[in-house]
Copies of this chain bind each other. A is one copy, B any other.
């Protein structure tokens, strides 16, 4: 670690990293951003100026190997996650990788391999919802049997706002997010988090998968005005079942115009948990009313943007810094192996088929 005992953090990618992660670092004691990499040099330079970063790279692999970085945050497009995460681990760095972890289970397994070859390095997935106070409280309540045996979980998101708070409306301009080859699409972007939540809450792996992804808006203009084909999904819906027997139904739409945003309900044999939006949690016992048991978020209005992703990212990063420093984790961070479990469910949703009638 660097002088002054600061963990030196390098960011690969200048999108989500610049808008959410770099500002969040101000709230993470013991960590200091030192480097950024972007294929677009101008973007990297701008971010470096804005956040006072000494080291700028145009190739993520160079950042991954830089002696000025202890922890590499991989926030580039998903098609590059495996390459950069593995390079960073091989260079002896800790890694926090954005979701979706990879393009497919093969890449994810390769990343797990690299992480297992460097067991003294942390290799985590940025499933920050595990550090969102209400979702974490839900986990604790389930584990303490507050709602009995988990029977079914419903999770939906509509309309979709990107992690940085910008809307992803039907008329959003074409970018990599709409390109399957780059790792775009709502299933990977948000479905990955929700699948991980099902695993986190039930403590059980997904064993059955049925459903589909769809692309409703099949072309979009890019920022130059050129019409481009959309190959990534803008809608996904699936039914999952865990080894423990719980059924989860998930629906994600970027093309919805209206809706409550995030909505979740966990139905147990003895009670219910309801999550509304980003900040509200209710608990009801069988036969009784729902009661608000929302957990306060001590970072409320501190981060920019002030959303659960940004605030939870701060907490996840704080935990990561602590654990790198030798502490035991207070929460349950998602490891690369968790990421792989999620990735194979994504693959199965995309590839698994139901019954065709006529």
Q: Which residues of A contact B (CB under 8 A)?
A: 86, 90, 104-110, 112-114, 116-117, 151-152, 154, 156, 158, 170, 205-212, 214, 216, 235, 237-239, 241, 245, 247, 249, 251, 253, 255-259, 265, 267, 269, 271-272, 274, 284-287, 290, 340, 344-345, 348, 350-358
Contact = CB atoms under 8 A, between A and B. Distances in A.
A287 B237 CA distance: 24
Contacts of A108: 109
Oligomeric state, in copies? 4
A286 B217 CA distance: 14
Nearest to A117: B90
A152 B267 contact: no
Contacts of A257: 267, 271-272, 284-287
A274 B177 CA distance: 28
29 contacts: A105-B106, A106-B112, A106-B340, A152-B214, A152-B255, A152-B256, A154-B156, A154-B251, A170-B269, A205-B357, A207-B357, A210-B238, A210-B352, A210-B354, A210-B355, A211-B211, A211-B239, A212-B247, A235-B247, A256-B267, A257-B286, A258-B290, A259-B272, A344-B357, A348-B354, A348-B357, A351-B357, A352-B355, A354-B354
Nearest to A207: B357
Contacts of A116: 110
A212 B208 contact: yes
Given A158-B265, A211-B354, A214-B245, 12 more contacts: A151-B255, A152-B237, A152-B253, A170-B269, A210-B210, A212-B247, A214-B241, A348-B355, A351-B355, A351-B357, A352-B356, A353-B355
A249 B247 contact: no
Most buried by B among A285, A340, A345, A357: A357
Nearest to A104: B358
A234 to B, nearest CB: 9
Given A105-B106, A210-B212, A267 B290 contact: no
A342 to B, nearest CB: 12
A247 B237 contact: yes
A211 B355 CA distance: 10
B354 A356 contact: no
A352 B208 CA distance: 10
A240 B269 CA distance: 28
A267 B255 CA distance: 8
Contacts of A350: 356
A157 to B, nearest CB: 12
B110 A354 contact: no
Contacts of A109: 105-110, 113
Nearest to A273: B258
A176 B351 CA distance: 32
Contacts of A340: 106
A132 B241 CA distance: 34
A151 B214 CA distance: 10
A129 B265 CA distance: 26
Contacts of A158: 265, 267
Contact of A249 (B117, B251, B274, B355): B251
A153 B350 CA distance: 20
A355 B357 CA distance: 12
A149 to B, nearest CB: 8
Contact of A256 (B208, B272, B345, B358): B272
Contacts of A256: 152, 265, 267, 272
